[in-house]
Chains A and B, each alone.
Chain A
Amino acid sequence: GENVEQHPSTLSVQEGDSAVIKCTYSDSASNYFPWYKQELGKRPQLIIDIRSNVGEKKDQRIAVTLNKTAKHFSLHITETQPEDSAVYFCAASSPGPANAGNMLTFGGGTRLMVKP
């Protein structure tokens, strides 16, 4: 099955700096890669996603890049703010049975701390 590795496990940056989180996946058939932000005690919330037919996607201060050949994808947050502090999870979804929905395999998470 799919295996997703995520690095680093913790990341501390100064407010205004950029943060980069990287993930690798094992299943070359995976075609959907979302990123979730989880604040303490809260639900994971989708912040950005990318499909395998796209190499890069940007939404204001966040961007995701995908390298299908190398099987890795990255989250980039620019101009970080204290409210960006949270745990970020990458995930990958590979095609499966038509009735299987979107079964996600998550990475281990990155605790991002933005210091004011």
Chain B
Amino acid sequence: EPEVTQTPSHQVTQMGQEVILRCVPISNHLYFYWYRQILGQKVEFLVSFYNNEISEKSEIFDDQFSVERPDGSNFTLKIRSTKLEDSAMYFCASSEARTRGGELFFGEGSRLTVL
């Protein structure tokens, strides 16, 4: 069964450093998402991406965050200057279409620890 894959599984960084989290969505999916989950809390929406542009973003997704689809398979989340409060599990997800099925398939997550 096709899966969303994410790398790295765990990254430790110093405050103020740039971090790039990588995702490979399921190949025939059209919509891509980033969510985050602070330890013990709910999963929160960050951003959705369709047709090579951001289609929706939350208040969390400020100027420190950016997303990119640099090639036909990868989807990346960049945090320009990490803060302690960016420590969380970041989940990439993809879906085939908005109306058909609608199921979001999540990756295993990238745990980011900011020291």
In the complex the two chains form, is B56's CB within 8 Å of A100's CB? yes
Residues of B9-67 contacting chain A, CB below 8 A: 30-33, 35, 41-45, 48, 50-51, 55-56
Which stretch from B68-76, B77-85, B104-112 is at the chain A interface? Answer: B104-112
The listed residue with most A CB atoms (<10 A of its CB), out of B42, B55, B91, is B42
In the complex the two chains form, is A104's CB within 8 Å of B104's CB? yes
In the complex the two chains form, is B41's CB within 8 Å of A108's CB? yes
In the complex the two chains form, is B106's CB within 8 Å of A104's CB? no
Chain A residues with CB under 8 A of B102: 32, 34, 49, 93, 102
In the complex the two chains form, is B106's CB within 8 Å of A102's CB? no
Q: Chain A interface residue count: which class?
A: 20 to 34
A-contact 0/1 string along B93-113, CB 8 Å cutoff:
001001000111111110000
Given contacts A43-B107, A98-B98, contact A107 B42 (CB under 8 A): yes
Q: In whole angstroms, what is the CA distance A108 to B45 when docked?
A: 13
Q: In whole angstroms, what is the CA distance A106 to B93 when docked?
A: 14
Q: In whole angstroms, what is the CA distance A65 to B48 when docked?
A: 28
In the complex the two chains form, is A104's CB within 8 Å of B55's CB? no
Chain B residues with CB under 8 A of A100: 48, 50, 55-56, 98
Is A105 interfacial (CB-CB < 8 Å)?
Answer: yes
Q: In whole angstroms, what is the CA distance A60 to B102 when docked?
A: 21
Q: In whole angstroms, what is the CA distance A93 to B97 when docked?
A: 13
In the complex the two chains form, is B108's CB within 8 Å of A102's CB? no
Is A103 interfacial (CB-CB < 8 Å)?
Answer: yes
Given contacts A101-B95, A103-B56, contact A43 B109 (CB under 8 A): yes
In the complex the two chains form, is A44's CB within 8 Å of B45's CB? no
In the complex the two chains form, is B50's CB within 8 Å of A99's CB? yes
B-contact 0/1 string along A88-100, CB 8 Å cutoff:
0101010011111
6 of the cross-chain contacts (CB-CB < 8 Å) are A43-B91, A45-B106, A46-B105, A100-B56, A106-B45, A107-B42
Question: A-B pairs with the 9 shortest C-beta distances?
Answer: A101-B31, A43-B106, A99-B55, A100-B56, A106-B43, A99-B50, A100-B55, A101-B48, A106-B42
Inter-chain pairs besides A34-B104, A102-B104, A108-B42, 12 sampled, C-beta below 8 Å? A43-B109, A44-B43, A46-B104, A49-B103, A89-B42, A93-B102, A100-B56, A101-B33, A103-B33, A104-B45, A106-B45, A109-B42
